[in-house]
Each structure stands twice: as C-alpha cells, then as structure tokens.
C-alpha cells in the first residue's frame, strides 16, 4: 500500500491564499519594521471676518445732540474662529461713544456664529439733517494670535433739534408795597430764557397808556436786558412812577419783552398784579412825557435840536422850575429864589449850544400842568455808535418851600454813518436822446475805518426805464474795498430825467438804512433831417446792371462750316 505524498508547492500556494483572505500580511525573508507616527493636518488658509447686521437704532430718527442706542447682530462670516474681541462706535465720526456701555466685548465666534450687541452713543450737535453713516470698529484675533481691525457701517436718519428761545417773567417784587399813587417805585423783575436758543438784545418795556399802574420813571419805560443765554436768568431793577390816577387795590400791569432769535424779531408779553394804596399825597411829580430830536440818524459831530415835554402829574404846583441838561450836585437850600446854587456837570456826549444848558420854565400847576422847551446840542465827534443817555435835571420849589431835585434821562441814538466815496466811471451826460440807452457806472469805496454791511443797490429812473441792473447785491465791504454799480437806463420822453441810486445797508445797531444818490439829465428828441429833392437818397443796396449779351462771331461760324467742323 502506497502512502499519500502531498504536493509541497501546491500546499504552500493554498496557505498564502488563505492568509490573504483573512487580512494577514506575510513577508517572506524580510525583517520586521516600525510603523511611522501620523502628522497633524495643515490648517486651511483664511481668517475670521466679523460684520454687523440687522441694525435697530432707538429712537429713530435720532436728534442731533441727543443720546441714542443701537442694537445689532455680529456674525463671523470668515472660515476661522475669532477669539474674543471688542466692538465700539468710531470716535472720529458723528456718532460718538456716550457712556460706559459704548464698548462691547465679544465672545469667541466660530465660522457662521452670531452674537447680539447693544451700544449707547450721542449724536454730535452739528450733524446735518438727513441720512448719515455710522461706523462700528471691530478688534479681534485668531488662534495664531494675529490681530484684526475691521469696520462695518450703516445709515442713520438724523433730524435737528428745533432751536428756539423762550423768554418769560419768572419773578418780581415792588417797593414799596402797596404802591403809593404819584410816587416813585422800584420794580425788581426776573426774566428767564427757558428755551434752547440765545435771546439777543432783549428789551423790557413797561406798557403805559390808559389804566396803567406804572408810568415811565427817570430812566424812561424801556430797559435793556442784553443777551440771555438758554437757561440764564437776568434780574432788573427799574425805577418807575405810580400813576396818580391808579385805582386802589390789586391792579394788572402789562409788560412786553422784545428780543432777537437768529436775527428774527420776537416778542413776549406778560402781566403783573400790583397792589395800589389809596392816593392821599399832596406833592408835585414832574414826568418827561415825550422828547424828540430833529435829525435821524444822529452822527458824531452833528448838531441837532431836542424838544421836550414836561407834565406835572402830582397834587401840588412846582414853583420856579429850572431844567438843566446835565447832572447837578449840591443844589443848596434854594429858598424862594428859584432853586438855589450848586454845580452842574454837563453831558460829555451832547454839549449844549447857545446857552449854558439851563432853561428857566417857571411854574407847573398840579394835575396836568405842562411845558415844552427846546435846546440845541452838538454830538461829540469821537463817540461810537450806540444809545446814550442825556441827563435832564429838574429843580423846583415844592409846597413846603423846599428845593426838590429830580433826575430824568432822555435816550439818544448815535450812528456812525458809512463813509462811502463815489467815483463816476461813466458820468451821465447833461443831455440824452429819448429811446437811446444811457450807461450808469460808478464805484463806491469804503473810506471809513470800519466794515460797512451793505446789502443791495436799487436803481430807479423818473422819466426813464431801467433796462439792465435795476437791483444788485453788494455785500459787506472792508476798509478801502470797492463796490461796482452798473446799469442801463433808457429815457422815455422829452424833459428832465432823474436817475436815483439807493444803497441799502445795516447800521451798527442792526437797523436797516439807506444811502441815496441822484443823477439828473435832460432828455431831448432829435428829428432826422428832411430829404433834399435835388439830392435823392443813395440806395445802400443798389440793384446791379444786367450783363450785355456778346456779339455773334459770324466769321468763325463761316470758317467752321467750310471746314466741316459744324457751325
């Protein structure tokens, strides 16, 4: 019996196939080796990127100069995580950080992650009305410690706060209280601007007229308050006269406050309740009823005449009344001689002319006795534009034979007029032809030491029509600066023609005034000369003579026919 002998090569092949099926690798004839360690993956290129979205501004629209808050969503639209970071309003823009909550810290934001932020700020007061850009600044890092600074913007609607002044009377008191008819009283009043704009050149006036309790005192019935800033309170003490006919008991007294707001005139009115005592006084009380000057405006160096009207509203006569234009000191006892001695200090702004500055009036009877007097003055040539007080001192003998001295004040306005020098570049001829335009050309030069606030120039013509340059704007001119004025005027009919140049300007007290300059000429009509029959007019466009036809060339035609060349 034979034993089975396996095929060695065959079994070896089967064993290798089986090992491969079960995933065992076999290496024949080689030494074992170590498996290498895996390296970390390389990070993808890119960076974190933060943007702000979904803005909500409160309030909306926002007002210039006021606080606001903005709520928005911060989103990482990059491909790396942002680590920490800050977001704040751009301090160089119109929307400024307004509190400790004007900077927000951000958490770590993975790509696509969002975070809601709220910031507080203030809108700058000079921010223009309408849409404005608000910028947010971001500061953050990534895992490599690289720092990033980016920004995001949105549009915010801004409206301006209405700026207005609100002037009101916030307190007052009178001395004495109750008031004594016919006597002087001190009214102390408080005026407050509770608005948001400046009230400039404020003036308080105590309204007189029928039924008024308080009448103009030594300084008149109008008192300047000056400029009143927002939130400011001015206190004024005014010396006034209680009307002798004022009824006893609580009585109303009207007041008016005028001021300028941004160059526009405003007015506020109010009423005070004053208590009046019973009238039982027997003394003279002289008031400066009215006064006027014969020249407006007054300029430095001008002479003028002032007329004054005085009225005795008291219950006794004023004997031997003397009126002095100036301040009187140490009047003495006077006696019955007419007011006594004393020294007089005249006004340094208005010097009396023609007299020593003292006028004797005589007696003013009680209950309405009046007198009118005039005095000539000259204005000091060195004064500047403004409102000046002219002191008027009254001295008289009362019912008890004693000298009474009272001081009144008349306010006089002085304006430094513009010193304009005119140069006629194209003088208007003495005679002009009707229907033919005439050129008007002149230059105004500011020869004064101050700027001149010129506005417009208007040119009109009597017996003429301004066909060009009827109204022109000039503007403010500095010292030695020129303004050119040009126009064309056409005379209409025969006779005198007057061309008027009116320059409108604003004086130093912010009042509109005019400078007027006139030019005259005579308009004539010139007829064309008659036509002389012996010399008919020459036609400027004569008809050309016709060109004569050429004579026929008979000999040439004969020769051409003989040679067979045609005729």
Residue 424 has pLDDT above 80, yes or no: yes
The closest alpha carbon to 363, from 334, 398, 393, 327, belongs to: 398
What CATH topology corresponds to 50-159? Immunoglobulin-like (2.60.40)
Pairing of strands 222-228, 403-414: unpaired
**Domain boundaries along the sequence of the chain:** 50-159, 167-276, 286-414, 420-524
Within 8 A by CB and 6+ apart from 238, the residues are 186, 187, 188, 189, 204, 206, 217, 219, 223
Q: Which two tokens stand for residue 45?
A: 């290129």
Whole-number percent of the chain with pLDDT over 70: 81
Q: Evaluate if pTM is beyond 0.85.
A: no
Cα distances (angstroms) measured from residue 268 to each of 2, 197, 227, 231, 416? 144, 15, 15, 16, 31
**For 159-171, what is each residue's pLDDT tens digit?**
876 777 888 888 8
Q: 342: pLDDT confidence band, cut at 50, 70 and 90?
A: low
Arithmetic mean of pLDDT, 465-476: 92
Query: What pLDDT is attached to residue 450?
Result: 85
- Asked if residue 331 lies in contact with residue 342, where contact means CB atoms within 8 angstroms, the answer is yes
Q: Check residues 250 and 9 and name the one with the higher pLDDT.
A: 250
Residue 349 has pLDDT above 80, yes or no: yes
- Residue 313 backbone dihedrals phi, psi, to 5 degrees: -95, 5
- Asked if residue 276 lies in contact with residue 242, where contact means CB atoms within 8 angstroms, the answer is yes
Query: What pLDDT is attached to residue 138?
Result: 94
Arithmetic mean of pLDDT, 310-316: 87
Class of domain 420-524: mainly beta
Residue 26 has pLDDT above 60, yes or no: no
Whole-number percent of the chain with pLDDT over 90: 38
111-115, 270-274, 473-477, 534-538: least confident range: 534-538
289/309 Cα distance (integer angstroms): 5
Pairing of strands 184-193, 167-175: antiparallel
**For 368-393, what is each residue's pLDDT tens digit?**
899 999 999 999 988 888 889 899 99
Query: In CATH terms, are 286-414 and 420-524 the same topology?
Result: yes
What CATH topology corresponds to 167-276? Immunoglobulin-like (2.60.40)
**For 288-312, what is each residue's pLDDT tens digit?**
889 999 988 899 999 999 999 999 9
**For 248-260, what is each residue's pLDDT tens digit?**
889 999 999 999 9
Q: What region, left, alpha or beta, does residue 211 occupy, with left being phi > 0 and alpha being psi -120 to 50 degrees?
A: left
Q: 22: pLDDT confidence band, cut at 50, 70 and 90?
A: very low
Q: 55: pLDDT confidence band, cut at 50, 70 and 90?
A: very high
Q: Which residue has the tokens 């040119």?
A: 459
Cβ atoms within 10 Å of 380's Cβ, excluding its own? 15
Residue 412 has pLDDT above 80, yes or no: yes
DSSP codes of every residue in 240-301: EEE-TTPPSEEEEEEEEEEEEETTEEEEEEEEEEEEEPPP------EEEEEEEESSSSB-TT
214/439 Cα distance (integer angstroms): 60
436/491 Cα distance (integer angstroms): 7
DSSP H or E segment with residue 154: strand 147-159
| Domain 286-414: which CATH number of 3.30.930.10, 2.60.120.560, 3.30.1300.10, 2.60.40.10 | 2.60.40.10
């Amino acid at each position: 019996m034979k034993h089975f002998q396996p095929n060695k090569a065959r079994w070896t092949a089967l064993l290798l196939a089986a090992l491969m099926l079960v995933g065992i690798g076999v290496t024949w004839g080689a030494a074992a080796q170590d498996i290498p360690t895996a390296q970390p993956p390389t990070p993808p290129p890119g960076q974190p990127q933060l943007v702000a979205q979904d803005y909500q501004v409160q309030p909306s629209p926002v007002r210039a100069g006021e606080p606001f808050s903005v709520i928005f969503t911060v989103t990482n639209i990059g491909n790396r995580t942002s680590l920490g970071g800050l977001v704040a309003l751009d301090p160089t823009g119109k929307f400024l950080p307004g509190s400790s909550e004007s900077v927000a810290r951000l958490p770590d934001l993975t790509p696509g992650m969002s975070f809601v932020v709220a910031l507080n700020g203030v809108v700058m007061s000079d921010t223009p009305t309408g849409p404005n850009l608000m910028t947010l600044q971001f500061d953050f890092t990534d895992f490599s410690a690289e720092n990033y600074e980016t920004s995001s913007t949105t549009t915010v609607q801004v409206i301006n706060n209405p700026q207005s002044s609100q002037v009101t009377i916030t307190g007052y008191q009178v001395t004495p209280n109750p008031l004594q008819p016919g006597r002087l009283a001190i009214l102390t009043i408080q005026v407050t601007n509770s608005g948001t704009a400046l009230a400039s050149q404020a003036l308080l006036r105590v309204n007189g007229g029928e039924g008024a309790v308080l009448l103009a005192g030594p300084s008149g019935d109008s008192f300047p308050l000056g400029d009143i800033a927002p939130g400011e309170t001015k206190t004024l003490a005014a010396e006034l006269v209680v009307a002798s006919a004022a009824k006893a008991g609580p009585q109303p007294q009207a007041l008016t406050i005028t001021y300028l707001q941004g160059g526009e005139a405003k007015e506020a009115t109010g009423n005070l309740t004053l208590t009046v005592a019973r009238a039982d006084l027997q003394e003279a009380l002289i008031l400066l009823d009215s006064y006027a000057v014969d020249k407006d405006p007054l300029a430095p160096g001008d002479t003028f005449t002032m007329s004054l009207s005085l009225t005795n509203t008291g219950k006794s006569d004023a004997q031997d009344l003397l009126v002095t234009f100036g301040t009187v000191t140490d009047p003495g006892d006077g006696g019955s001689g007419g007011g006594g001695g004393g020294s007089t200090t005249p006004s340094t702004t208005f010097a009396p002319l023609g007299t020593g500055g003292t006028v004797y009036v005589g007696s003013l009877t009680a209950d309405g006795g009046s007198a009118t007097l005039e005095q000539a003055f000259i204005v000091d040539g060195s004064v500047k534009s403004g409102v000046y007080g002219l002191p008027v001192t009254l001295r008289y003998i009362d019912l008890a034979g004693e000298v009474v001295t009272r001081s009144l004040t008349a306010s006089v306005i002085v304006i430094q007029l513009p010193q304009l020098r005119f140069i006629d570049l194209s003088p208007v001829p003495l005679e002009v032809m009707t229907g033919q335009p005439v050129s008007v050309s002149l230059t105004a030069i500011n020869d004064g030491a101050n700027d001149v606030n010129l506005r417009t120039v208007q040119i009109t013509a009597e017996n003429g029509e301004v066909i060009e340059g009827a109204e022109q704007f000039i503007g403010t001119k500095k010292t030695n600066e020129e303004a050119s004025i040009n126009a064309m005027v056409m005379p209409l009919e025969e006779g005198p023609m007057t061309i008027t140049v009116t320059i409108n300007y604003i004086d130093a007290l912010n009042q509109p005034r005019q400078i007027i300059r006139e030019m005259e000429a005579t308009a004539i009509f010139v007829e064309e000369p008659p036509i002389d029959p012996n010399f008919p007019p020459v036609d400027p466009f004569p008809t050309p003579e016709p060109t004569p036809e050429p004579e026929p060339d008979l000999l040439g035609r004969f020769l051409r026919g003989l040679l067979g060349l045609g005729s």
